[in-house]
Chains A and B, each alone.
Chain A
Amino acid sequence: MLVFAFYLFAVLVIASGAMVIVSKNPVHSVLWLICAFFNAAGLMVLVGAEFLAMLLVIVYVGAVAVLFLFVVMMLNIDFAEMRAGFMKNAPLGLAIAIILLAELVLGIGAYRAGKLELGTPLGDAAPVAGASNTENIGMLLYSDYIFLFEAAGIILLVAMIGAIVLTHRERRATRGHQNIAKQNARRPGDATVNVKPEVGQGVEL
């Protein structure tokens, strides 16, 4: 049963990944991407990482993919034009893919052969017996790492302030907006200026 579930999820992840690239309509691509995320979450549940699976669904499907969808639908990107460069860039993309694959194979091979001596965890954060992954992570996050957790929250706040500072504009009424004080404060000296233009040089306003 487990094996069947694994192959089901694995095949679906790869198939939807391929569909992301192949499908003509960018909106469909994003929908296939969401499908891939869901199946990857299923794979994580199978290996017992239910917290990561939840995060993947909540963060990636709930936020990131929806954001992609917004970007795709809001921005008027000419996808036909972008696709025109596909064949030209394909060899480069393939080369990078092959290099990455070779590095993965070499790295995992070296590790399997015992050539890489990775560090061993200190083990001072031993899991609580009988508690789930989520409970254990929460236990650490809200006790030992509370400082980092709160500081990370402030980072997100700063990012939000930044986005608002850089984009938010006060909306002014386009007509009927009269500042009487400003009109009264205006003096002839502000509006007129004496110039002495050279002959034939014109006037700079």
Chain B
Amino acid sequence: MDLMASLAIITPEIILTVTGLLLLLAAAWGGDRASRMISIAAAVSLGSAFAIVAPRVCAGAAGMDTMAFGDLFRADAFAGLAKLMIFAAAGATIVIAPRFFDRVANMRAEYPILVVFAALGMSIMVSATNLMTLYIGLELNSLAAYVLAAFLRDDERSSEAGLKYFVLGALASGILLFGMSLVYGFAGTTNFIGIAQAVKGDLSTGMLFGMIFMLAGLAFKISAAPFHMWTPDVYEGAPTPTTMFFASAPKVAAVALLARLMMEAFGTQIDAWRQVVIAAALLSIIIGALGAIGQSNVKRLLAFSSINNVGFILIGLAAATVAGISAMLVYLAIYVVMTVGSFVAVALMRDADGNPLEGISDLAGLSTTRPVLAAVMAMLMFSLAGIPPLFGFWGKFVVFQAVVEADMLALAAIGIAASVIGAFYYIKIVKVMYFDEPAGTVTGEGDTPHWALLGICAVIISPLGYILTPWLGNLADMAAASLMLPA
């Protein structure tokens, strides 16, 4: 492969790298006073990366050559669709960050830079077709994420979140690497296609071990039960923009990575990993639903909600068909919009001085004090619960449809039953907002970027979102079809 052709394929990544490096220099000279300019530049670079990827996704299989650097990197429609979600979520994080940090401490110039590097890492992850690329992308993303979690270094909870995330993340990376070394040892190659050839026929015990270890390591990164323990603490302690970032972009990246690994490298051994994915999916749905019930902090509640949602995403993967992957991508796209919307709404919970509030009790009677915010939040909660007129229902519908088509009726039945438990705590928030005595603490004003983001999310998850379904479904189908499944 010609180097220039490879470089042309990774243009979005090059843009992110170069802006990241230049902005770092700008931060070194300009200091924190330059943080506003740096935030804008970082958002623009993410936007331009988005603009480059978008036409490639729409072109689908008819687009340009996708393999870069031999067998290391593939920018196909599947990776492209995931990158669109990642860049959008990262951009949203940069947009809401300054307001939050200006209130709590000073906005620092490194924040948007780290978000750009994390987005770069995730974009490498979703394009990885080799175990080495996979690991490098994952580590780039994780290292930036640890720092983003601990960014409020004078805040005890933020430091704790960073440390906890770092220690457990390092453990998960170790588990993943151990699995990768086993897979490499038994396959003789780190390339997904090579591994697919090595596991054709029968799966040796060593290879099975390696695969399960890799699954466990990645399950940690997407906070699927039983590897979810870190999630509530980290989500609660991390600064709100960071929490929004964690709940959206890295989940997309790690889920896409997991799907590509399982379908491309272990696509001939579906029976070996499907049971693990099903177990993780059901456990996540149930633990996410039950764990959320007793929470009094909105960010903790949304952490359990994200565990719950990962369960539904994994159900799409468990179908192990092209339709299942396509459904999973549709769910992911809707999930990102709902998550970004919910966290922007949380970021808008401020007291009269503009200090952030996080308690569910602060939401009491929000419908009388801040009717618009309460209405949007209620919509988001109903959508997360999957209640029909809203768009969140569509995600759950396509996922369960794919599972039913794959003849896994029992899984679909259990999943639907468990989603009813989840609906309880979403509706509890709506009840607190609409039927409780006003607490009157949420009085702070929002600013235009927040309201604009919240408005976009609200329009997409409203019944108007169904206009998008043919288009979104088509994109997801093209993306899923671009995976190189072993014959």
On A, residues with C-beta under 8 Å from B are: 116-122, 144-148, 151-152, 154-155, 157-159, 161-162, 164-167
A121 and B188 contact, CB distance less than 8 A = yes
B400 within 8 A of A: no
Q: Which residues of A contact B132 (CB under 8 A)?
A: 145, 148
Beyond known contacts A118-B188, A121-B188, A161-B114: 13 more, CB 8 A cutoff:
A119-B188, A119-B189, A122-B188, A122-B189, A144-B69, A145-B132, A147-B6, A151-B140, A154-B140, A155-B136, A158-B117, A161-B113, A162-B143
B352 to chain A, nearest CB (A): 15
Among B17, B69, B70, B73, which residue has its beta carbon within 8 angstroms of that of A154?
Answer: B17
Measured in the bound complex, the distance between the Cα atoms of B70 and A145 in whole Å is 9
Q: Which residues of B contact A120 (CB under 8 A)?
A: 188
Q: Which 7 A-B pairs have the closest CB atoms?
A: A119-B188, A162-B147, A147-B69, A119-B187, A151-B136, A120-B188, A165-B110
Known: A147-B72, A165-B151. A116 touches B206 (CB 8 A): yes
A184 to chain B, nearest CB (A): 21
Q: Which residues of B contact A116 (CB under 8 A)?
A: 206
A155 and B140 contact, CB distance less than 8 A = yes
B188 and A144 contact, CB distance less than 8 A = no
On B, residues with C-beta under 8 Å from A are: 3, 6, 10, 17, 20-21, 24, 68-70, 72-73, 108, 110, 113-114, 117, 120, 124, 132-133, 136-137, 139-140, 143-144, 146-147, 150-151, 153, 162, 184-189, 194, 198, 204, 206
B185 and A155 contact, CB distance less than 8 A = no
A166 and B136 contact, CB distance less than 8 A = no
Q: Which residues of B contact A146 (CB under 8 A)?
A: 3, 69
Measured in the bound complex, the distance between the Cα atoms of B110 and A158 in whole Å is 10
Among B110, B150, B184, which residue has its beta carbon within 8 angstroms of that of A161?
Answer: B110
Measured in the bound complex, the distance between the Cα atoms of B207 and A118 in whole Å is 10
A158 and B140 contact, CB distance less than 8 A = yes
> B7: nearest residue on chain A (CB-CB)?
A147
A139 to chain B, nearest CB (A): 14
Among A144, A151, A158, A162, which residue has its beta carbon within 8 angstroms of that of B70?
Answer: A144
Measured in the bound complex, the distance between the Cα atoms of B69 and A145 in whole Å is 7
Among B108, B114, B137, which residue has its beta carbon within 8 angstroms of that of A151?
Answer: B137
B contact face: mostly helix, strand, loop, or mixed: helix
Q: Which residues of A contact B10 (CB under 8 A)?
A: 147
Q: Which residues of B contact A148 (CB under 8 A)?
A: 72, 132-133, 136
Q: Which residues of B contact A165 (CB under 8 A)?
A: 108, 110, 114, 147, 151, 153
Known: A118-B185, A118-B188, A119-B186. A166 touches B147 (CB 8 A): yes
Measured in the bound complex, the distance between the Cα atoms of B108 and A117 in whole Å is 53
Measured in the bound complex, the distance between the Cα atoms of B137 and A148 in whole Å is 9
B90 to chain A, nearest CB (A): 15
> B194: nearest residue on chain A (CB-CB)?
A122
Measured in the bound complex, the distance between the Cα atoms of B114 and A121 in whole Å is 37
> A155: nearest residue on chain B (CB-CB)?
B140
B185 and A119 contact, CB distance less than 8 A = yes
Measured in the bound complex, the distance between the Cα atoms of B110 and A166 in whole Å is 10
Q: Which residues of B contact A121 (CB under 8 A)?
A: 188-189
A155 and B143 contact, CB distance less than 8 A = yes
Measured in the bound complex, the distance between the Cα atoms of B190 and A121 in whole Å is 10
Measured in the bound complex, the distance between the Cα atoms of B124 and A161 in whole Å is 20
Q: Which residues of A contact B3 (CB under 8 A)?
A: 146
Q: Which residues of B contact A158 (CB under 8 A)?
A: 114, 117, 140, 143-144, 147
Q: Which residues of A contact B137 (CB under 8 A)?
A: 151
Measured in the bound complex, the distance between the Cα atoms of B122 and A180 in whole Å is 47
Q: Which residues of A contact B194 (CB under 8 A)?
A: 122
Q: Which residues of A contact B146 (CB under 8 A)?
A: 162
Among B21, B72, B153, which residue has its beta carbon within 8 angstroms of that of A145?
Answer: B72
B32 to chain A, nearest CB (A): 9
Measured in the bound complex, the distance between the Cα atoms of B69 and A146 in whole Å is 8
**Selected A-B contacts with CB under 8 Å, 28 pairs:** A116-B206, A119-B184, A119-B185, A122-B189, A144-B69, A144-B70, A146-B3, A146-B69, A147-B69, A147-B133, A148-B72, A148-B132, A151-B124, A152-B136, A155-B143, A157-B21, A158-B114, A158-B143, A161-B24, A161-B110, A162-B146, A162-B147, A164-B110, A165-B108, A165-B114, A165-B147, A166-B162, A167-B153
> A163: nearest residue on chain B (CB-CB)?
B147
Measured in the bound complex, the distance between the Cα atoms of B17 and A152 in whole Å is 12
A147 to chain B, nearest CB (A): 4
A166 and B150 contact, CB distance less than 8 A = yes
Q: Which residues of A contact B124 (CB under 8 A)?
A: 151
Among B70, B136, B186, which residue has its beta carbon within 8 angstroms of that of A117?
Answer: B186
Q: Which residues of B contact A122 (CB under 8 A)?
A: 188-189, 194
Measured in the bound complex, the distance between the Cα atoms of B117 and A144 in whole Å is 23
> A156: nearest residue on chain B (CB-CB)?
B143
Q: Which residues of A contact B68 (CB under 8 A)?
A: 147
Q: Which residues of A contact B120 (CB under 8 A)?
A: 154
Q: Which residues of B contact A147 (CB under 8 A)?
A: 6, 10, 68-69, 72-73, 133
> B189: nearest residue on chain A (CB-CB)?
A122
A190 to chain B, nearest CB (A): 13
Measured in the bound complex, the distance between the Cα atoms of B133 and A155 in whole Å is 12
Q: Which residues of B contact A155 (CB under 8 A)?
A: 136, 139-140, 143
B212 to chain A, nearest CB (A): 18
Measured in the bound complex, the distance between the Cα atoms of B69 and A117 in whole Å is 30
Choose among A120, A151, A157 the residue with the greatest number of B CB atoms under 10 Å from its CB: A151
Measured in the bound complex, the distance between the Cα atoms of B117 and A165 in whole Å is 14
> B195: nearest residue on chain A (CB-CB)?
A119
B112 to chain A, nearest CB (A): 12
Q: Which residues of A contact B153 (CB under 8 A)?
A: 165-167
Q: Which residues of B contact A152 (CB under 8 A)?
A: 136
Measured in the bound complex, the distance between the Cα atoms of B118 and A155 in whole Å is 10
A26 to chain B, nearest CB (A): 24
B188 and A161 contact, CB distance less than 8 A = no
Measured in the bound complex, the distance between the Cα atoms of B186 and A116 in whole Å is 9
